[in-house]
Structure 1
Amino acid sequence: MYSRALLSLVVASLSAPALADTVWMKNGDRLTGTIKVFDGGKLLLETKYGGSIALDWKQVKTLESDQQLLVKQDAYTGEHAKSLQPAEEGKVTLANGEAPKTVELASIEQILKPKPVVEDLVWKGRIDAALDYKRAEKDTDNYDIGFKTTARHGRWRHTAEGEYNRDTQNDVTTNDNWSAEYALDRFITDKWFWQGRFDYKRDHVEDLQRQRTVGTGPGYQFWDDELGAFSLGSLLNRTDYQYRDGGKDDFYSVALKWDYNRYLIGKRFEFFTNGELGKPLGSVADYSLDAELGLRYKLTDWASLNVKAEKNVISGTQDSDLDKTRYTAGFGVSW
């Protein structure tokens, strides 16, 4: 009898439906899946029938989840809810044992899974690689590897990125350079932020060997959600140039910086462009441009194919101008 009862219990537990989060919409729809994150006015629900669905938060009536979630009603503090329980329209109940708390949906700024150390940490990034080997009358080897990662908690956002490029033809190096950049943003409001950044570039082929830039200035985040992001920043920079013949230039400049990406066709494609257009305050150069534009095709949730074009121009320098265009196609991973 005991064995039979135990077997019946196991079978019943295996046949029971898996727990799922539920979102009720104002138009009467009822959606089930797994709540991944709410940020930037979009609630991302992972479903078996439609993949990742971004829901407009203003159209959500109420919701339910058995996950432990961090619910933030401002940029600094959040409540660690053991579960979310449905409430009347426009509200949700944060269940924490004996002291449940019902809050307005409109008062919630973020919902995310808590991290072990920094609970409200949102970390994302990518690595793209393009490799091309040709063995013919002219042997060519081309490498292009780049990464970008962003971590945000509270009012702070950290961004680090870098790239390495190398081209050879018949054992002659025609392109060999790398760059690295770190930027720290402090959000003053939900949209306005102040940025400080450091950028370093090293070239082993061109006459302009080294570029070092330190800058600071305000920026505006138009949006940053599961469907993409767009920000503009204006910077006052201090830049140092070092040339292969030993010459040096240092100057101040003003610059416009942009960062845009947008997911298309059910997040299958991603269009992106970023860069910086600068104008030196003096006669060192006429202008500088460092930009890229491209398209990614997602193979899985983490893997993608990409094509992109890069443009690097420094016009009107005292020693030598720089004008380089590069096209690449490759493979990338993201998280």
Structure 2
Amino acid sequence: MANPRLPHSIFICLFSALAVPVQADQVWLKNGDRLSGTIEQLQDGKLRLATKYAGTLSIRWPEVQRIESTQPLLITLAPGEQPPPAGASLVEFKAPQQQRVLRQEQITDIQQPAHFSPKFSWKGNLDLSLDLERDQDSSDKLRLKTSNEFLKGYWRDKLNADWELQKTNGERDRHNYGLTNSLDYFWSKSWFWRGDASFSRDFQNDLYQELKYGSGPGYRFYDDKSGRFELGTTLGRQGYRYYSQPDLRFSILTLNWDYRRFLLQDGLLELYTNGEYSYPYFQEVDYAITAEAGMRIRLTQHLRSTFSTELDALQSTQESHSDWKHFFGLGYNW
């Protein structure tokens, strides 16, 4: 009885069948040899295996008999996949409670899926901006901002925070902080589902607290050495709290973006913009915009300088403002 046609692209989670977990991918050859390392890619008839003892090996694909991997692999099949005939050259892939045997000549590509992170990783940065002016009015501005990105498996968590203090002639006229957290789950190379929440506190203005949360889909166009471009949308709730006016709470639809572009050698210069446009389902509020654009220049492996412009705009019956902020500072990234 013929097997059903296999899809052109499939995901197979490959793990060791031994009782003790294997920390490296295993490749068995038809001559009985076994090689250990990290599978990088199958291309042009060669399987690339990165090893600690011999660098990257290029193994002729027809010599491979069996593969076991500690992480998922994206396997691309040629069109028109049919059941293997008698005597065909086969390769075995093994997974927990599952075993799949495929025709060797029908497999055109193997690589690690871009949306899967086998190990926990943490990338982040901390920026400091300090502006001291001594003209007719003495003005001191201090700002700290951090952005963090955590990856594990198909999950990505973004945690951002900022704190700002400004004094003019010794009197505090700006003091606020904000927190934002976004949790993404990637179900394919490009599509993900996001749940996010943000909180901000202002110690100087009548609008002293903002809270927003929501959930919705997102799409990643690319994320590689050249940069990143993502769009997303969320549907949720937002609330404003005032000292002297009634609080506002309403449903809101938000469009957010994240664009980065690395230029010059090894990404020496980075251009970026990110933000969100919010459309409330509420007559009292027309729109809200939070956006940032700027550039970063890498000075050393971890040190960089940042030039940025930020916009915080709100149009409502109780309050309307468009606050532009310009920053220059130094940052540390890891």
Question: By the TM > 0.5 criterion, same fold?
Answer: yes
Paired residue secondary structure (1:286): strand
User: Taking structure 1 as reference, are residues 249 and 64 closer, same or farther at Cα in structure 2, changes over 3 Å only?
Assistant: same
Q: Find the counterpart in structure 2 of residue 184 from structure 1.
A: 183
TM-score (norm: length of structure 2) = 0.69
| Residue 106 of structure 1 pairs with residue 91 of structure 2 | no
Shift of 1:226: 2.7
The answer as to whether partners of 1:90 and 1:105 remain within 8 angstroms in 2 is: no
Q: Find the counterpart in structure 2 of residue 175 from structure 1.
A: 174
Residue 85 (structure 1) aligned to one of 47, 57, 62:
57
The answer as to whether partners of 1:121 and 1:152 remain within 8 angstroms in 2 is: yes
Distance in 1 of aligned mates of 2:67 and 2:156:
27
User: Taking structure 1 as reference, are residues 264 and 60 closer, same or farther at Cα in structure 2, changes over 3 Å only?
Assistant: farther
User: Taking structure 1 as reference, are residues 240 and 224 closer, same or farther at Cα in structure 2, changes over 3 Å only?
Assistant: same
The answer as to whether partners of 2:186 and 2:193 remain within 8 angstroms in 1 is: yes
Q: Find the counterpart in structure 1 of residue 321 from structure 2.
A: 322
Distance in 2 of aligned mates of 1:122 and 1:94:
26
Deviations 1:93-149 (A, max 9, x none): 9899xxxx99979321259xxxxxx95223211111111123343211111211111
User: Taking structure 1 as reference, are residues 332 and 192 closer, same or farther at Cα in structure 2, changes over 3 Å only?
Assistant: same
The answer as to whether partners of 2:194 and 2:215 remain within 8 angstroms in 1 is: yes
Q: Find the counterpart in structure 1 of residue 32 from structure 2.
A: none
Paired residue secondary structure (1:294): strand
Paired residue secondary structure (1:325): strand
Letter in 2 for 1:149: N
Greater shift after overlay, 283-292 or 134-143? 134-143
User: Taking structure 1 as reference, are residues 308 and 91 closer, same or farther at Cα in structure 2, changes over 3 Å only?
Assistant: farther
Q: Find the counterpart in structure 1 of residue 295 from structure 2.
A: 295
User: Taking structure 1 as reference, are residues 243 and 59 closer, same or farther at Cα in structure 2, changes over 3 Å only?
Assistant: farther
Distance in 2 of aligned mates of 1:231 and 1:325:
24
Structure 2 segments unaligned to the other structure (5+ residues): 1-38, 70-91, 94-103
Q: Higher strand proportion, which one? A: 2
User: Taking structure 1 as reference, are residues 187 and 119 closer, same or farther at Cα in structure 2, changes over 3 Å only?
Assistant: closer
Same amino acid, percent of matched pairs = 26
| Residue 235 of structure 1 pairs with residue 234 of structure 2 | yes
Letter in 2 for 1:258: W
Shift of 1:169: 1.0
Q: Find the counterpart in structure 2 of residue 29 from structure 1.
A: none
Greater shift after overlay, 122-131 or 269-278? 122-131
| RMSD between aligned residues | 3.3
Q: Find the counterpart in structure 2 of residue 24 from structure 1.
A: none
Structure 1 segments unaligned to the other structure (5+ residues): 1-36, 44-56, 69-81, 112-117
Shift of 1:240: 0.9
Distance in 2 of aligned mates of 1:91 and 1:148:
47
Letter in 2 for 1:284: E
Residue-pair matches, total: 260
